[in-house]
Amino acid sequence: MHYRPVDAAGNVSDPRGGATVAIREVVPREVNVSIAFCNPQDVFNRAVGRAVAEGRLNAKLAGKDVNGFFAVVPLTEGSTCIKDDVHKYLETSMALSGYY
């Protein structure tokens, strides 16, 4: 999943910044998420973000430390779309990290 900040009309307004996440459901109603942030001064690159996020997810699942770029996201009761819950988590995470 790729996340990019949007303007009030819902359009991506800047080619810089954003994040890519790798998502893997490990138990019902809970997913593992690894994050690859793109610096707000760098142009977003989908392929690089995908490779970094997937690598971090695999590293964490192999027992390695990924320096906080990993989270366990519980799915909300009644949610039918994993992306909605991950989106809420990522939006908050990006704001706290200064990426949004």
> What is the pLDDT of the chain when averaged over all its residues?
84
The pLDDT assigned to 39 comes to: 84
pTM, to two decimals: 0.76
Dig out the tokens for 80 from the structure. 């039918």
What mean pLDDT is predicted for residues 21-35? 88
Please state the domain extents for the chain: 2-95
Angle in degrees, CA 94, 63, 58, rounded to 5: 60
Token pair of 56, please? 């971090």
Q: The tokens of 77 are what?
A: 């009761």
69 token code pair? 């770029």
Q: What is the DSSP letter of 15?
A: S
